[in-house]
Amino acid sequence: MSLTDLARPEIVAMKPYSSARSESAAEGILLNANESPWALVDDERARDDEVGPLNRYPEPQHARLVACMEERYGVPAGHLLLTRGSDEGIDLIVRVFCRAGEDAILDTPPSFGMYRIAAQAQGAEIIEIERHPDTLALNQAAMLQVIAGANPPRVAFLTSPANPTGDLVDESFLEDLLSAAAGRCIIVVDEAYAEFSPAPSFSEKLRQFDNLAVLRTLSKAYGAAGLRCGAVLAKPEMISLLRRIIPPYPLATPVVSLALRLFDPESQRQQKIMLSEIAANKLVLLKALKEQPFVLQVWPGEANFVLARVDSAARLLDHCAHCGITIRSFPHAALLKNCVRITVGSRQEIDCLVQALDTYPGNAPESVTELRNG
């Protein structure tokens, strides 16, 4: 079975929408796209970046940005699709491969919530293989069994490092899974937090496996969540299936212009500094958490956040809110009772959080007094 055989037949059969901009070069006198001849506002910088003026439709997949990101993510030409964040990549994959009412995705709760939303929006079933109730580790045996079984899901979502548990996907397990899934199931590895971990990207496995898709994003380690820019890395056959349903101009001109700047040498230098500062601040946060008697369990993970189980997530959230700090709890996730996820912020932000932990009423009264006097 080829990859295309796994796609929804109506997607394979459809003739993709052909936009004016994709049919001809943006040169000479352009009277083919019902654009305005004038832009009312203009961005000088955008023109320097060769992204074109605002009155023109943007290039559907900006060639220079695609090339920058392919180089950065270490994949050959033709292996990358620009998307509006990884959220759009998740949605495109589910819509291309899952027939409503017939196919399923595999999810491993507790996990990132968008996999479930994309499946529900598409009318796909959700096969849940819960993580281990104490360690929160993946149930690898059960996942392999489902993928190799009689009714495999069409798409399986893995996250490395995972959110909110922070763990990496084991390489030999992934290889086993990809092999078991050949011709039956698309394996998605969401690498939204990859830059925070020294582990290499799984995009290198694209050479061997055509049923793999890797998701990357500029939202986290590029400090650009507001930009809404990410990418799907996959074999050209999968990229061309996804291109059939992506809107004709997914990335706005100012987005492309700003994204290009994230790949210039100065931004790269800044990113290195940012990543090492996050790593240092994470150690400060972990040390503080480990000293608190009300912190029962900590999952340090490999990303820019920490998951911890405390005496009462609701009370800690309240207390932090009182101190002007917002952290995350998971009241609806069965395995995350009294767990909180804390994002590693700046040193000043983490110092404020550590202070809030010290004054949390769950603490022994002496230590609170001591802190107040000091």
Ligand X SMILES: *Cc1c(COP(=O)(O)O)cnc(C)c1O
- On the question of a cis peptide bond just before residue 250, with omega within 30 degrees of 0, the verdict is no
Report the residue number whose CB is nearest to ligand X: 85
Q: Which of residues 221-260 bind ligand X (CB under 6 A)?
A: 225, 230
Min dist CB 198 to ligand X, Å, is 19
Question: Considering beta carbons, is residue 85 or 301 the nearer one to ligand X?
Answer: 85
Q: Closest separation between CB of residue 355 and ligand X, Å?
A: 27
End-to-end CA distance of the chain: 69
Q: How far is the CB of 230 from ligand X (least distance, A)?
A: 4
Per CB under 6 A, contacts with ligand X among 153-172 are: 159, 163
174 to 213: interface string for ligand X, x by CB under 6 A: ----------------x-x---------------------
Minimum gap (Å) between residue 313 Cβ and ligand X: 19
Binding track, positions 72-91, relative to ligand X; x by CB under 6 A: -------------xxx----
- Give 141's Cβ-side CA count (13 Å radius): 1
DSSP for 196-238, written as a single string = GSSSPPGGGGGGT-TTEEEEEESSSTTS-GGG--EEEEE-HHH
Sequence-separated (6 or more) residues with CB below 8 Å from residue 271 = 195, 221, 222, 223, 262
Q: Provide, rounded to whole angstroms, the least separation between the CB of residue 325 and ligand X.
A: 20
Shortest spacing between CB 17 and ligand X, in angstroms: 23
In the 8-state DSSP scheme, what is residue 69?
H
CA atoms in the 13 A half-sphere facing the CB of 253: 19
Number of H helices, E strands in the chain: 15, 11
**At 101, phi and psi to the nearest 5?**
75, -5
The residue among 86 and 292 lying less far from ligand X, judged by its C-beta, is 86
Q: Which is nearer to ligand X, 58 or 85 (CB)?
A: 85
Nearer to ligand X, 58 or 230 (CB): 230
Q: Which of residues 21-80 bind ligand X (CB under 6 A)?
A: none
Burial 273-289 (b: 16+ CB within 10 A, else e): ebeeebeebbeebbebb
Report the nearest approach of ligand X to the CB of residue 225 (Å): 6
Calculate the alpha carbon distances from 141 to 132, 138, 157 in Å: 12, 9, 16
**Structure tokens given for 136:** 């929160």
- 159 or 197: CB nearest ligand X: 159
- With binding defined as CB under 6 A, does residue 109 bind ligand X? no
Distance CA(328)–CA(307), nearest Å, equals 9
Interface with ligand X (CB under 6 A): 85-87, 112, 159, 163, 190, 192, 217, 219-220, 225, 230
